[in-house]
């Protein structure tokens, strides 16, 4: 049976043998086969009611404008309460302190947390990226030392990928680790590291050989204790007044030999596997969901026809994106790494995340009576200031579309 394309790309391919001037049209695509039909299995769905009850108790009385921060909201006590229920590191094996559940269970957990606007930032990066990375590429000593403490909510992580003047071009990193007796000496700078000022560790992508012109070659990942001498963290204030983002400076930071994660020079492969976890989850479509839910409730059971149509269009866009995320969860559960698919999903998902506050702002402009609700106005104002960040964090649209083009064979 023919499966229609989701994304279709055309390009020109120059022959590599014979007449080098010969070119031919090439057509490649991502099809529905890249997003296999999947449903959340009963064992994972069974978790949903328990998670809902926990969140309702924890967030009782928390207003929408606070909940709208969701995975940007840092609350160590909430993360530890979640950990006490066994819901941090749910996919990690029990021998490392995890719950031994699958990717579908984590999907249900994350979906409910984000839909309600729970403050998950404290444990977020450790749970979503750093722990799976250490499980797959770390040494046994790293696993036994670090993973149980992530699962208990004792260790919080940040990510060290972006650098000044590089944007999302991770391959151009200049931060360098050089071998010294007994370990490594780290020098350089990272930027946009979320909650580095409240984190215990960073997993940093750095260069261990060659220069930035060597691109992906010579990159490695390191586990960096942010309390070490020579580490300086400076918060960056954004338009909302928040200081989630940070610059992190490394000046002759001495790392132990076992700070290397995985193999030296294998950092590019490892970080791409990490980004598949980062870009494929429901957080890429749910950042504005608290606002959408609040607006829908204010519209009531008999909304203005234009508002009803607007709400229907937004929900109709969210629904297939959720199915795409479930499909990628199935791929991850089967041991796959949907790099191109995750880049496509993230690009499409952040677009709807940005569209939701813009559409609701237009709707409120049409219906001045809605502007009388102070919580709606505060929540909308926050997200209108923040929504430009949605298409930056986790990779800009330009970088993502370059990845998609490479995945399609067009670059």
* Residues with a known catalytic role: 278
Q: Which two tokens stand for residue 146?
A: 């670090």
Query: Reduced to 3 DSSP states, what percent helix, strand and coil does the chain have, rounded to the nearest 5?
Result: 50, 15, 30
Compute and round to an integer the Cα radius of gyration of the chain: 22
**Cα(121)–Cα(390) distance, rounded to whole angstroms?**
15
- Tell me the C-alpha to C-alpha distance, in Å, between residue 294 and each of 283, 357, 370: 18, 12, 11
Q: Which two tokens stand for residue 411?
A: 């670059």
- Pairing assessment for the beta strands 201-207 and 157-160 based on DSSP bridges: parallel
The single-letter DSSP state of residue 188 is: E
Which residue blocks in 93-229 are alpha helix, DSSP H? 103-116, 121-125, 131-137, 140-151
Closest CA to 192 of 218, 163, 170, 220: 163
Give residue for tokens 């940005």.
354
Q: Which helix (H) or strand (E) holds 29?
A: strand 23-31
């Amino acid at each position: 049976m023919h499966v229609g394309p989701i994304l279709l790309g055309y390009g020109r391919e120059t022959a590599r043998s014979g007449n080098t001037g010969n070119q031919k049209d090439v057509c490649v695509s991502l099809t529905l086969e890249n997003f296999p039909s999947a449903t959340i299995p009963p064992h994972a769905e069974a978790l949903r009611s328990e998670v809902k009850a926990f969140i309702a108790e924890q967030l009782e009385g928390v207003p929408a404008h606070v909940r709208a921060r969701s995975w940007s909201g840092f609350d160590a006590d909430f993360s530890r309460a979640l950990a006490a229920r066994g819901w941090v590191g749910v996919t990690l094996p029990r021998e490392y302190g995890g719950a031994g559940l699958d990717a579908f269970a984590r999907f249900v957990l994350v979906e409910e947390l984000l839909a309600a606007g729970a403050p998950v930032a404290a444990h977020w990066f450790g749970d979503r990226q750093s722990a799976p990375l250490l499980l797959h590429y770390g040494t046994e000593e790293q696993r036994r030392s670090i993973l149980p403490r992530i699962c208990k909510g004792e260790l919080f992580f940040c990510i060290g990928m972006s650098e000044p003047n590089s944007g999302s071009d991770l391959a151009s990193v200049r931060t360098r680790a050089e071998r010294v007796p007994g370990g490594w000496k780290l020098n350089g700078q990272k930027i946009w590291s979320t909650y580095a000022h409240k984190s215990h560790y960073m997993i940093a992508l750095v260069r261990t050989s060659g220069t930035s012109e060597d691109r992906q070659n010579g990159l490695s990942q390191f586990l960096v204790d942010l309390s070490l001498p020579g580490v300086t963290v400076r918060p960056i204030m954004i338009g909302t007044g928040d200081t989630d983002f940070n610059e992190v400076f490394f000046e002759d930071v001495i790392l132990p030999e076992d700070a290397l994660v995985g193999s030296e020079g294998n950092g590019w492969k490892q970080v791409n596997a990490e980004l598949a976890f980062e870009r494929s989850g429901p957080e890429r479509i749910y950042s504005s969901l608290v606002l959408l839910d609040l607006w829908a409730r204010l519209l009531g059971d008999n909304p203005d026809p234009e508002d009803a149509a607007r709400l229907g269009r937004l929900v109709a866009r969210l629904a297939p994106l959720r199915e795409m995320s479930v499909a990628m969860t199935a791929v991850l559960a089967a041991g796959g790494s949907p790099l191109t698919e995750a880049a496509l999903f993230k690009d499409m998902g952040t677009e709807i995340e940005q569209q939701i506050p813009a559409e609701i702002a237009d709707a409120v402009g049409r219906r001045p009576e809605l502007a009388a609700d102070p919580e709606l106005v505060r929540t909308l104002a926050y997200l209108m200031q923040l929504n430009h960040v949605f298409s930056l964090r986790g990779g800009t649209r330009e970088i993502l579309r370059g990845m998609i083009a490479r995945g399609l064979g067009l670059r």
